[in-house]
Amino acid sequence: MRLVTAIGSAVLASAVCSAGALAFPATDRGEDVELAAPIGFTFHAARGGDIRLGDSNGMTLYIFDGDNEAGASACSGECAEAWPPMVAREGEGAVGAWNTIQRADGTLQWTYHGKPLYRSVRDQKIGDAKGDADDRSNKEDETVKDWHAATLAPAAGVQVPPAFSAQELSTAAGWGFVTDDGNVLYTYDADPAGGHPVCVDTACANTWHPVAAGQLTLPVGDFGVIARDDGIRQWTFKGKPLYTFAGDTAPGDTLGNGYKGEGRVALIARYFMPDEVALWHNHFGGTNIATTDGMTLYMRIRGGYSNGFSLREGVSGSASVGRGLGTGSCDAECVQTWPVLNAPDDAVASGYFEIFTREDGTKQWGFKGYPLYTYMEDTKPGDMEGYISYKFLPKGEEMEMVATAGGANPIRGATALIWVAAVP
């Protein structure tokens, strides 16, 4: 049930996306929400939309069909030499669906949703999945028929009402819930858990629409129903009333996350984010990765120029191409203009964030295969003066130029190194 007119929604959406709104933090870091994976486990996109799990070096992790006994591994001896167990370090232990079992040699092996995790000696680089029976390149390989790449499944076992579904919400850095028509579900910060909603006046309800439940609706798992003072029966999640946001105009939008410090996406699990990094909404109506103080983070991709770079949705490159370019795409002279996003010496790759080591031995944060940088000409939170900057390489010659939104188009089809804002 919506408590706002279509005109009111359009006005708010325009305000959120206007230059007047500019940039604002997506939300706080959400430490009260469980991590989707412990520190040191990495995520990698795979065919079909799956998110494969990897270790801190990015090497694919596997599960074994032969592991049928709870709390035990059926892979030892020669099997364990070919499929080394993912061993937990001292002090690591149960986190949500993640746990450990003790092997015969006394070491602790990680499990996910009860299945022990392994590497494969066949894999040589990040992205390899030579031990995955489900990979089309391995269909005829009998030696891997009982092995499968482990995939991220934060919503496994979570009871969700038929009116909603759980999915990855990359612009909220985690997994959350959406309605049948794709509207993301939020909680309102001032609402007390288990108490009556405080978002009841017209101004609030014009921005945050209570998600109505039917008169005969019953609680499902962590989802409950509360009776509002205005007579609406409203869905709750873990005791907090649920809303949609008037400023979200497309399915999956999360522009209400942090809007005026009022609401946040209702997450099942959040993704790891370095202490130096946060999500920020930009004045194009999209979400990008920035430093915690709002300075846009960039990555340098390689490709052919064409029209259609979306300032709202951003541009994603190929992770394998990004790792191939590495830190060499921005040398010592380049970093005078594009400063490196440094990582602590003890930083560990986790989630979608990777660690690159530069020539001078310093560590640099990367995201989905690409090293991250700021831009010297960005002077305040939300600035994106470096988006989009090209270095063209036509027929071996190099040429520098910058294209701004609405400006003259560079040479179409030319191979280029392109600075783009990093987007989740």
Identify which of 355, 401, 367 has the alpha carbon closest to the alpha carbon of residue 297: 367
- 406 falls in which pLDDT band (50, 70, 90)? very low
Residue 363: pLDDT above 50? yes
Reported confidence tier of residue 358, pLDDT bands at 50, 70, 90? very high
- DSSP per-residue letters across 181-202: T-PBPEEETTSPTTS--S--SH
Identify the pLDDT of residue 279: 95
- Classify residue 210 as left (phi > 0), alpha (psi -120 to 50) or beta: beta
Taking the whole predicted model, whether its pTM rises above 0.85 is answered as yes
Confidence of residue 12 (pLDDT cuts 50, 70, 90): low
Whole-number Å distance between alpha carbons of 414 and 304: 5
List the one residue out of 402, 326, 336 whose CA is nearest residue 359. Answer: 326
Q: How many CB atoms lie within 10 A of CB 383?
A: 20
Range 355-358, long-range pairs (CB < 8 A, 24+ positions): 356/326, 356/327, 357/327, 358/327
Across 276-296, average pLDDT: 93
Q: Say if residues 217 and 158 touch (Cβ distance below 8 Å).
A: no
- For 104-108, 136-140, 245-249, which range has the lowest pLDDT when averaged over its residues? 136-140
Q: What is the average pLDDT across 372-381?
A: 95
Q: How do 389-392 and 399-402 pair as beta strands?
A: antiparallel
Task: List CB contacts of 4: < 8 A, sequence separation 6 or more.
Answer: 12, 205, 206, 207, 209, 246
Q: What is the mean pLDDT of residues 197-207?
A: 92
Alpha helical stretches, state H, 5-136: 6-17, 78-82
Find the range with the poorest average confidence among 91-95, 126-130, 322-326, 381-385: 91-95
Mean pLDDT is lowest, of 61-65, 68-72, 100-104, 403-407, for: 403-407
CA-nearest of 191, 262, 257 to 229 is 191
What rounded mean pLDDT belongs to the chain? 86
CA 102 to chain centroid, in Å, comes to 32
Q: How many Å apart are CA 259 and CA 321, to the nearest integer?
A: 35
CB atoms within 10 A of CB 326: 16
If one counts every other C-beta atom within 10 angstroms of the C-beta of residue 83, the result is 23
pLDDT, position 401: 39
Bridge partners of 389, per DSSP, are 402, 419
Contact between residue 177 and residue 185 where contact means Cβ atoms under 8 Å apart:
yes
Report the pLDDT value the prediction gives residue 390, as an integer from 0 to 100. 64
Mean pLDDT of 299-316: 70
Provide mean pLDDT across the span 18-37: 73
